[in-house]
Structure 1
């Protein structure tokens, strides 16, 4: 069907996505007037044009307690599967960042702009999707005047990435004087979070200069502070419980048929339960007890802009941004489990083994000469050197932005605009892991004196002597349980592992990754002499050139070109190394747009864009058509239809990245290697929106919108769950030649010649163009306002209902992977995010003079955990719905603002989910009842 025949007029309304429109105020600085420009390149486009745009002003946000950008985006009904909470188990190394995910299509498919111009992406991708995104945490909230959310494809105007829509952060340029403010929030288990913001503005006759700064601090919150976050094994077997523990278990080795082999089944360490473990087949270790719900974060932000109108009428705009985000002490498990276990042999001469056998007669069978150690290098005893606590790493991100533009008008009335913007972000991540060779030789007594990286041992070195130390994996090395504090009756201080040995055995797997973006834009627009029944036709045309850069600089021990390690994936037991990269690409684009007032009450928009990536990626051509029909004074209809696209990013075209993911078949986290693909095609979508807007002209407004996205060739990372499931099924069926089995590296510990699920070591996934996706839904909104003279009262609400999110079947290595409708699912077994069928926000607001009182009810629908019972530990078949209530009070005077908030008044816990943290971090707020106070004062101006 042709694009033109698919177009239907539709309608939407400019609403506060979080909780409806704020009540009007006498002070228009609280409720700013807005002029929407997002969605069109034609100067002067009215805010009631034919596109579904939500506008959230600074005043709107203030009467909802001045939420952080992360909180704001999470609450939007059109958002699903948002990163933002610190959570290493869902967001894979993205601590300290935040993003936008409209329609659940993925954060990389929502284009984020600052003052209508692009910003470089964050250097680290979402691991399970290999998607790069703009980190909204780098934008200081004090600089934001309004946020415009276009819930529609917009590639014809903006180019790549605008598949699901556009979020445009518009900064304040009208401040005069000095403004300083701050807020403090607290909930059970935290020492509190606080933000300090300041802004100073100068206004001249033909110029302005406004500078905003922000400082944010979040205190660390251990998971142990929340009783729902740490559950016994029987309540949630997948809630952070690992079968590889410390103390671990051992396979006795002796002489079998003239060779060394296993002489009995595994032997569990008798000290397992004494130090906190749970015996279920093996000694289960709950690593999440060492993790945090919130990491300590510190962030600095500066934004400054200068505007001037020259004598010839040319407008000049210059802006700069600096952001620094630091997660200085990121906490994780004391150690990760090894991927390959066969070389971890405890010799018979090991003093820890000898002492254990003496204390536990008969534990090891007669003839034991050594033992194969299966477990973590550090666990229930904690990591020596950090007060026997977790391992620590860090993440730091630093962003710069400089953008300027010139805008003017020629004598013939044509407006011209040219802009140049540059932005860059550098990120550094360090995550500690254990050296493969270091653990091997330390078990042999050559810890500290040997080379942990290469495994080389000095000539003449004697195990356990002359500066050499044994690593002792037995419980007699653990003084007390690091979590429960219980004394270990078999502890022997002479056999304890030293902090120096722990530091020698581990090192930081680290990279410095830098992204940069240079964009030149030029456009012209005006009103033509062409007349229609409704007036003159407006037009715009422009060009854009973008240069994207992506550089990966691993440290020496992480660099596979320097340290390939014993298996080619690096020298560490769990985390893979990476290779250096320095890539760039230049994209060229041209676009055109027409605004056609067909009749007095019918307006149309037509736009096209051609964008060329060059090379194997190629080019795309995308049209758009939109229209609005003002049926009468009370009813308007509007709609749009367009194609949109997203080209592959540089991290997707090449290289290898590794993430840690829970592999259900192995009941453990495993390393998943993701390989880039230079043959990727751009992903594309056809979408349309139709709806209606009603205003009874007596305080009641309502809207309904139907949206539909038909998404082709989405760039995805193949699901490791699909690969593992297909490979295990092939093995069980005797189809050992199936090529999908080659995607998995096994370690055959049972020496039975059969690859078992519990012998999975690593999994290879590829970045590919995946199955087509079709999603549709309905946005609803209604509000009634009563003007009572001295005060105003309003009630209303908004909700989004997802009708379908249907994913086609596709193949991996010739194996059919079933798709299906993913609405109402947790989607932990596939590349999608959580998709509750509907979310809604309902509010009541009372405004009287300087006072504003607001109550909000938020509801998230229940949804299913689609995984088989075994994959979710037999628990959590359904994730319950959640309803919370918030209350806000705002007082505003000429020079002073006060805000008081209580979020989640009834202190509702997040619904249980069969996940490491026992809740769904993409959907629910885990903090409970939260109190917040905010104060702002102004001087001068």
Structure 2
């Protein structure tokens, strides 16, 4: 049946002195993948492009447009009216003075991605999703635009600011809006503005804006389901979605849902005794002959549940040698519901509302703990665990005789409600709205233990409630606009408005066992003495915006905005955007703007202890007393930015071929990042001992590497040590193993202190290229698309640490270099959508540039260095961990057996490509040392390390 949309989606609006009907919009596309030289998929893409240029008939659309019913004409995507990046009513994409892309519901529906972020990342080359992460970073998927922070892209829903996540652990502190809670079944389109727009929308819109436009259908709907999995195992995912419209031409109520259930993907590297990793069967036979103290009787003794001879017992773990899964994506269960509604009271007044509710449960692996890391039990209560009691050595009374893998789990609730009125009064357009959103996340550590409780009592819980963090945003806005005819080519648009916002953030403590002493192993609970509290602030903003056209082919858009925050003061920013149409084919456009980003309350007040099996890093509040004692008394300040862009628009040089080319430069000063100061680092001396065939001891600390040169210094950092003592983390500033302090005793070999700061300034330069072309043939049609992004980020300033830290660095020269090289500098999307009768084939090739980071090789013997790509940097040897060029081919085939049923099958990463593996010499060396961060594949790839994904979907409209 024909779906009817709300009346405002077909009313006539003024468009720069013309009358234009708002078009419905649908698009389509895919992502792809492969690596190497001229791979099979690159060859396929080259052939596709050659065929397009040689066999074109005539064009029709920009992206992918689905077949329309015979009685309805689907407009080209460039004729779609946009509402993002401009306050001119009726602006189209091809007339926009700012670069903007539209991703339609049809694209999202056919994508192999199971969430909105990945679906958008597949379509927008300057937008890359993070596929893996540790701790809480893996449980809230984030993405970055132009290799900046996720915080630098603003998310709107129906033009209204979306609330942010409460998860500070995502992407090193980024608290962007979690688009995973927006059901794709509710989305009509997403408008992606790739230009600085803080003067229009306020804080955060430095790199760009995502405006999610919701469906307003008042009848009809759809139901759908899908299943996907990786061919090499894992990632089994089922998805379900639905959407219904109710009402009439005066009022509408549209509701929808998305449900996703996803299993983890395991690509763990071997971990454990090197000989056993190499030949487990031989190792097992060797152990059973009596090499272990308890030999083959180990698993039969009455003490088997607690007793372990030494770390070699990890070979009895049923997952050995693939016991360490940290970094693998989490198991996830997500349920999202949303509605969108409106009611035309009169022709000049509409009441509207939209809202969402999301629930998500996630479970991710933490680093594997070896059997003896719990330290044993003080059976005779004499203050140490070195005695033999009743024939049992105290240090060998272990809770998990084969070691254990803790899990970090979260249970999240996310909701938002927006309501308002818009219309026209006395010639003025108005929009008055209020939006409240809240994110709450309960955090748990499971399958773990508290080492301190175990050492002292011989008992410990296995599952812990660590605490809860929450965040809320309440935004109230008034927007007014009016067109004035002052004798120019077209009337000028004058817009003004104001905003009042309240932000809140808080952390609630966990159960006492989660933070007592060492706390829950892998993720200690939030301690009410140092980690918890509630914080809030309010802000006011006002703006003026004037859009004028001095001539028929010249548009100028000027805006200025003022904001004042209760915690750090005020900011005034502005922008000027212009477009000049040289003729009907060529146009020039450009923007100069300033912007800012207010630090989130989570960045300012989050505090926790991050631990690994052999290290600990307390994170201090930058706006708290701990940071002040280290010389950071002012707390976090806002980031400020300057954005320049210039672009060329080419439309119809041959019928319906469209191309845009935009160059940009974004400079961010006082950029917020998480800096880390070394108090002590371990295992440098132990490394050489281990290579000599002796036993390593990861619990013996070495002096701190305070200057970041890879060589331990002669003494500990006193300022950091005293701060650690003041907060109760250690008992003596120059001896971390001395009695006292709450840090895990097994994690004191590598101690650092971290906090968010404004130490960096960066400059990002790049180019976006978007081209589309459509060809019609007697047998069907093909829509071609090409989009590309080149992006280069440079650190132009790194401020020195406060003098009280005695020369310690927040970001070493190595950190800064890796920031500049660890992301691919370019990405290219090639797409073709082929429609033949009831069948549609989508092909998309996505090519990612290479990237690399440098990792210290100072401790490696020369024999290992000879096998690596060694780079000498600041007189220290590093090996180059490089991920080469990757190209991915994605294909899907859709069939419509009836007008209202669609069946889709597809494959992402058709040629089953993976990132480069860790060099074998490093792999062998790390295995020998029981290195807990070992991975088979280089980390940091925007496509993950999962291989080919196969999927199938079915949907029915009604």
> Normalised by the shorter chain, which TM-score bucket?
0.7 to 0.9
Written as runs of structure 1 = structure 2, the 5 A alignment for 1:414-813 is 414-432=428-446, 433-442=448-457, 447=458, 501=459, 504-532=460-488, 534-557=489-512, 565=516, 575=524, 577-578=526-527, 579-615=531-567, 617-660=568-611, 668-677=614-623, 679-695=635-651, 696-720=653-677, 725-726=705-706, 732=712, 734=714, 739=719, 748=735, 760-813=749-802
Residue 176 of structure 1: aligned partner: 219
Gaps of 5+ in 2: 1-25, 32-60, 278-286, 288-307, 625-634, 681-703, 725-729, 739-744, 869-879, 920-932
* Deviations 1:888-939, CA, capped at 9 Å, x for gaps: 1123453122222111111112333586443325512322111111111122
Residue 474 of structure 1: aligned partner: none
- Asked whether the equivalents of residues 334 and 378 of structure 1 are also in contact (C-alpha less than 8 Å), the reply is no
- Asked whether the equivalents of residues 762 and 793 of structure 2 are also in contact (C-alpha less than 8 Å), the reply is no
Written as runs of structure 1 = structure 2, the 5 A alignment for 1:114-125 is 114-125=157-168
CA distance 1:286–1:638, shift in 2 (3 Å) = farther
One of 852, 856, 877 as aligned partner of 1:868: 856
SS in 1 for 2:757: strand
CA distance 1:320–1:577, shift in 2 (3 Å) = closer
CA distance 1:170–1:335, shift in 2 (3 Å) = farther
More helix by share: 2
- Asked whether the equivalents of residues 592 and 608 of structure 1 are also in contact (C-alpha less than 8 Å), the reply is yes
Aligned pairs, number: 778
Whole-angstrom distance in 2 between the partners of 1:417 and 1:583: 30
SS in 2 for 1:75: helix
Whole-angstrom distance in 1 between the partners of 2:734 and 2:519: 17
- Asked whether the equivalents of residues 450 and 519 of structure 2 are also in contact (C-alpha less than 8 Å), the reply is no
CA distance 1:438–1:405, shift in 2 (3 Å) = same
**TM-fit CA distance, 1:156:** 0.7
RMSD, aligned α-carbons:
3.9
- Larger mean Cα displacement after TM superposition, 152-161 or 863-872: 863-872
**TM-fit CA distance, 1:16:** 7.8
CA distance 1:294–1:78, shift in 2 (3 Å) = same
Whole-angstrom distance in 2 between the partners of 1:153 and 1:340: 54
Whole-angstrom distance in 1 between the partners of 2:810 and 2:677: 14
Whole-angstrom distance in 2 between the partners of 1:166 and 1:900: 32
**TM-fit CA distance, 1:618:** 0.4
Gaps of 5+ in 1: 1-13, 238-246, 248-268, 279-284, 355-369, 384-389, 448-500, 663-667
Q: Does 1:26 align with 2:26?
A: no
CA distance 1:277–1:623, shift in 2 (3 Å) = farther
SS in 2 for 1:867: strand
Q: Does 1:907 align with 2:887?
A: no
CA distance 1:702–1:785, shift in 2 (3 Å) = same
- Asked whether the equivalents of residues 707 and 812 of structure 2 are also in contact (C-alpha less than 8 Å), the reply is no
One of 80, 86, 96 as aligned partner of 1:49: 96
Residue 358 of structure 1: aligned partner: none
Residue 479 of structure 1: aligned partner: none
* Deviations 1:70-95, CA, capped at 9 Å, x for gaps: 32244355446633x4x4xx242144
Whole-angstrom distance in 1 between the partners of 2:810 and 2:387: 51
One of 85, 96, 101 as aligned partner of 1:39: 85
**TM-fit CA distance, 1:302:** 1.0
**TM-fit CA distance, 1:818:** 9.2
**TM-fit CA distance, 1:749:** 8.3
Whole-angstrom distance in 2 between the partners of 1:42 and 1:271: 72
Written as runs of structure 1 = structure 2, the 5 A alignment for 1:876-895 is 877-892=881-896, 894-895=899-900
Q: State TM-score, norm by structure 2.
A: 0.74
Q: Does 1:381 align with 2:402?
A: yes
**TM-fit CA distance, 1:294:** 3.8
**TM-fit CA distance, 1:176:** 2.0
One of 235, 239, 258 as aligned partner of 1:214: 258
**TM-fit CA distance, 1:102:** 0.8
Q: Does 1:333 align with 2:379?
A: no
Whole-angstrom distance in 2 between the partners of 1:788 and 1:573: 61
Residue 841 of structure 2: aligned partner: 853
Residue 61 of structure 1: aligned partner: 108
Whole-angstrom distance in 2 between the partners of 1:210 and 1:610: 36
Whole-angstrom distance in 2 between the partners of 1:80 and 1:540: 30
**TM-fit CA distance, 1:234:** 7.6
Q: Does 1:289 align with 2:324?
A: yes
Residue 400 of structure 1: aligned partner: 415
CA distance 1:43–1:202, shift in 2 (3 Å) = same
CA distance 1:699–1:379, shift in 2 (3 Å) = farther
Q: Does 1:301 align with 2:336?
A: yes
- Asked whether the equivalents of residues 883 and 941 of structure 2 are also in contact (C-alpha less than 8 Å), the reply is no
CA distance 1:749–1:119, shift in 2 (3 Å) = closer
SS in 2 for 1:603: strand
CA distance 1:656–1:67, shift in 2 (3 Å) = closer
**TM-fit CA distance, 1:660:** 3.9
- Asked whether the equivalents of residues 128 and 659 of structure 1 are also in contact (C-alpha less than 8 Å), the reply is no
Q: State TM-score, norm by structure 1.
A: 0.75
**TM-fit CA distance, 1:300:** 1.2
SS in 2 for 1:719: strand
SS in 1 for 2:431: strand
- Larger mean Cα displacement after TM superposition, 872-881 or 802-811: 872-881
Whole-angstrom distance in 2 between the partners of 1:272 and 1:558: 26
CA distance 1:98–1:766, shift in 2 (3 Å) = closer
CA distance 1:44–1:574, shift in 2 (3 Å) = closer
Whole-angstrom distance in 2 between the partners of 1:158 and 1:602: 24
Whole-angstrom distance in 2 between the partners of 1:896 and 1:353: 69
**TM-fit CA distance, 1:332:** 5.9
Q: Does 1:194 align with 2:208?
A: no
* Deviations 1:659-713, CA, capped at 9 Å, x for gaps: 3469xxxxx4433423232632111100111111223132433222111011001
CA distance 1:418–1:710, shift in 2 (3 Å) = same
**TM-fit CA distance, 1:789:** 4.3
**TM-fit CA distance, 1:773:** 0.6
CA distance 1:919–1:58, shift in 2 (3 Å) = same
* Deviations 1:169-213, CA, capped at 9 Å, x for gaps: 111112522311111112231372111111111241311111111
**TM-fit CA distance, 1:736:** 5.8
CA distance 1:127–1:22, shift in 2 (3 Å) = closer
Residue 151 of structure 1: aligned partner: 194
CA distance 1:730–1:805, shift in 2 (3 Å) = closer
**TM-fit CA distance, 1:542:** 0.2
**TM-fit CA distance, 1:131:** 2.3
One of 138, 145, 152 as aligned partner of 1:102: 145
CA distance 1:691–1:613, shift in 2 (3 Å) = same
CA distance 1:209–1:712, shift in 2 (3 Å) = same
Residue 938 of structure 1: aligned partner: 957
SS in 2 for 1:542: strand
CA distance 1:528–1:802, shift in 2 (3 Å) = same
**TM-fit CA distance, 1:853:** 1.2
**TM-fit CA distance, 1:397:** 0.8
